Amino acid sequence: FLLDRASGGGGAPLYLQLKKNIEDAVRHGVIGPGDALPSERDIALKADVSRVTVRKAVQDLVKSGLLVQRHGSGTFVAPRRERVEQSLSRLTSFTDDMARRGMTASSVWLDKGIYPPSPDEMMVLGLSAKEMVARVSRLRIANDIPMAIERASLSVAALPDPGSVVSSLYATLEETGNRPIRAVQRISAVNLAGADARLLEVPDGSACLHIERISYLASGKVIEFTRSIYRGDAYDFVAELRLS
């Protein structure tokens, strides 16, 4: 699909011609969602253009969301996104939600550790400045597709060893009788940019959902304060409404 430069768009700049060739190849199914693009060097050789030209075309297509770059493993055609429909009336975990759909949940750890609490963590979790907070931050993945970034904060009393969370936070809390039974969730719209956009493999400025979940134990004590960013193109949140 990397036609030579003469076959492109006539007088258009080379990187635009190359960009169009790649777009056409995806549109016509020559390369499909999830497929790897040849290396920058191979494209430059085959298309008879400089590597700078290839880089410029690829960067534009990453920005527009057609291609995704994964650190260390190369450039791929963005995977097809299937939207996930998520109920807003049940208190479930990401691992449960994905398992119910027959998808495999995994995580890339961004952070797990014990820190002095921030002012909002102190307020929500009811901590004093002398107490510590346990943080577990993860990129949540379903079948290789990055779905959400979750940054959870818990009191150290509830999660003394954040390292003990291997896959499911709720499963770990369940083992010590600390699984929440109720939560309040607030959803707001954000345009994502920077490092978080790159983690979720979305172009800068993409519409995403910021979700704050405050979860409670049966005793009424707050157990979890989680701030998440969910991909706007991957999620539908659905709630059933009843006449009073």
Would you tell me which residues interact with ligand 16G (CB under 6 A)? Answer: 93-95, 150, 152, 168-171, 211, 213, 224, 226, 228
CA atoms of 237 and 89, how far apart (whole Å)? 10
Q: In terms of CB distance, is 56 or 231 closer to ligand 16G?
A: 231
Minimal distance, residue 169 CB to ligand 16G, in Å: 3
Q: In terms of CB distance, is 26 or 147 closer to ligand 16G?
A: 147
Minimal distance, residue 159 CB to ligand 16G, in Å: 11
Cβ pair 17, 11 in contact under 8 A: no
Minimal distance, residue 212 CB to ligand 16G, in Å: 8
Q: In terms of CB distance, is 3 or 124 closer to ligand 16G?
A: 124
Q: In terms of CB distance, is 169 or 208 closer to ligand 16G?
A: 169
For 102, half-sphere exposure in the C-beta direction (CA atoms, 13 angstrom radius) is 0
Q: In terms of CB distance, is 32 or 126 closer to ligand 16G?
A: 126
Distance of CA 19 to the CA centre of its chain: 26
Minimal distance, residue 5 CB to ligand 16G, in Å: 48
Minimal distance, residue 137 CB to ligand 16G, in Å: 11
CA atoms of 116 and 148, how far apart (whole Å)? 25
Given CA atoms 239, 108, 213, 207 in this order, what sign does their dihedral have?
A: negative
Three-state DSSP at 210 gives strand
CA atoms of 98 and 11, how far apart (whole Å)? 49
